[in-house]
Chain A
Amino acid sequence: MRKILVLFILLAGLAVGVFIVAGRVRGGDGVDTGSSADRGQISQLSLKFMEDLRFKDFQHAASYHSSEDRKKVNIPQLIEQWFAVKPETLDIMRYEIQKVDIDSTGKRGRVKVKTVVKILNMNEIKEPEIMLYFFKDPAEGWIMELESSLH
């Protein structure tokens, strides 16, 4: 019993050590840096944005952009550019985040999203990938970058 307890304590110490070291060595190339909270935050924003697109809630989808961009953002046009179809013929069936990058400054981020969409009038299924770009505004927090998203 004592042996088992000692082994448990040693292994628990090892577990904490392994994950602390793993957290410190990760980084470089501008990939995988940034706190997990930031990565989680832009992942969540991306998923919510995709959900808005799925349910054609363009007004809410625009809310992830800066207050200035919100006035000029044209989500249907964005959809047309990304998927090369009119929004009314698009059925976003599934989406999944594939990659989340945060740069070395921790102020810019990008999220690669893989989607499965159906072009309704052609009965065709496609799997386009989308890249969403974000920047961290000191006042507003993580914001989707409209220009980079458009081009």
Chain B
Amino acid sequence: MAASQGEQLNVLCERYLEIVFSDRGNTFLLLMQAPLIALLIVLTWRDVDSATDSLYYVMALTSLWFGTFNACREVVKEGPILDREARLGVQPGPYLLSKLLVLALISFVQCLCLASIVNRSVPLGGPPLLHFLYLWLTSLGGVALGLVVSCLMSNSDKAVGSVVLVLIPQMLFSEMVLSHEHSSSAIKWAEDFTFLSWAHQGMKELTKADWSYVTLAQSAFMLFLLTAGLLAVSLFLLTLRTGKAQS
């Protein structure tokens, strides 16, 4: 009899965590990215000791990249293992959730390093803990985006190559790149589907003296909604794949 979804989730989480910790070189590289990029950001903004809009944009973009790159190979590299285990009864839901939880942990550490190092030299304006939470939510969005890429591609190289294709639109459709007075309504509409716009809006709102809780909640909710949407797509793709493997 196949194990319940909860038991599967436990085993898959433990195993994935062990794989991550046992690959010390790669994990070290992943965790070192954040402080190194944070130092480069500090170097760029060191003469501006109050945060600028562009700083929030760059930090949100960095977090999104962290999440997407962390996740983009994680399903595709285990393709044959997943197919074999699907035949033995492993469900796509627990499998996807195990990836999400472990990658969320890595993103948490990365965003914490990024926000704390930058905040030490360039005060972020507003509570840094909330800035960190927006960055983490953005990074989780990146993880969801990376998982979709990973489910779609047939090998790791293609997955890494495709990351640029999904991240460039995220960067382009932003008020920071082209102000609203110059952008078309189609671009403004596209902005609503980018993590960067919502993260940027939330972080900017935090710097105001009189926060609008509605704006803060709206930004966080939209980040959550976009992430959930992409995870649903990943789940659908995984269900198709495991269904094919079982038949």
Q: Which of A2, A14, A36 contacts B112 (CB 8 A)?
A: A14
Say yes or no: A15-B209 contact (C-beta < 8 A), given A1-B9, A36-B126, A98-B48. no
B78 in the interface, Cβ–Cβ < 8 Å? no
Secondary structure at chain B's binding surface: helix, strand, loop or mixed? helix
**Are B208 and A3 interface neighbours, CB within 8 A?**
no
Chain A residues in 8 Å Cβ range of B207: 40, 43
Closest to A32 in B: B123
Say yes or no: A15-B132 contact (C-beta < 8 A), given A39-B50, A97-B52. yes
**Are B128 and A22 interface neighbours, CB within 8 A?**
yes
A41 in the interface, Cβ–Cβ < 8 Å? yes
Say yes or no: A19-B128 contact (C-beta < 8 A), given A40-B208, A41-B209, A99-B48. yes
Among B14, B52, B123, residue most surrounded by chain A Cβ atoms (within 10 Å): B123
Chain B residues in 8 Å Cβ range of A19: 115-116, 119, 127-129, 132
Chain B residues in 8 Å Cβ range of A18: 112, 116
Chain A residues in 8 Å Cβ range of B160: none
B102 in the interface, Cβ–Cβ < 8 Å? yes
Query: Which A1-53 residues have C-beta < 8 A from chain B?
Result: 1-4, 7-8, 11, 14-16, 18-19, 22-23, 26, 31-32, 36-41, 43-44
**Are A99 and B116 interface neighbours, CB within 8 A?**
no
**Are A43 and B50 interface neighbours, CB within 8 A?**
yes
Q: Mark B102-129, 1 if CB is under 8 A from A, else 0.
A: 1001001100100110011001011111
Chain A residues in 8 Å Cβ range of B208: 40, 44
**Are B132 and A96 interface neighbours, CB within 8 A?**
no
**Are B17 and A22 interface neighbours, CB within 8 A?**
no
A16 to B133, CA, bound (A): 11
**Are B13 and A31 interface neighbours, CB within 8 A?**
no
B192 in the interface, Cβ–Cβ < 8 Å? no
**Are A3 and B120 interface neighbours, CB within 8 A?**
no
Secondary structure at chain A's binding surface: helix, strand, loop or mixed? helix
Tally of chain B residues near chain A (CB < 8 A)? 30
Query: Which A85-118 residues have C-beta < 8 A from chain B?
Result: 96-100
- How many Å from the CB of B96 to the closest CB on chain A? 14
Chain A residues in 8 Å Cβ range of B209: 37-38, 40-41, 43-44
- How many Å from the CB of B138 to the closest CB on chain A? 16
**Are B120 and A22 interface neighbours, CB within 8 A?**
yes
A40 to B231, CA, bound (A): 36
**Are A8 and B105 interface neighbours, CB within 8 A?**
yes
**Are B14 and A11 interface neighbours, CB within 8 A?**
no
**Are A36 and B127 interface neighbours, CB within 8 A?**
yes
B27 in the interface, Cβ–Cβ < 8 Å? no
Closest to B115 in A: A19
Say yes or no: A23-B17 contact (C-beta < 8 A), given A37-B209, A97-B52. no
**Are A1 and B10 interface neighbours, CB within 8 A?**
yes
- How many Å from the CB of A22 to the closest CB on chain B? 6
Q: Which residues of A contact B (CB under 8 A)?
A: 1-4, 7-8, 11, 14-16, 18-19, 22-23, 26, 31-32, 36-41, 43-44, 96-100
Q: List 26 A-B contacts (CB under 8 A).
A: A1-B14, A3-B13, A3-B17, A4-B13, A4-B101, A7-B105, A8-B108, A15-B112, A18-B112, A19-B115, A19-B119, A19-B127, A19-B132, A32-B123, A36-B123, A36-B125, A40-B208, A40-B209, A41-B209, A43-B50, A43-B125, A97-B50, A98-B50, A98-B52, A99-B48, A99-B50
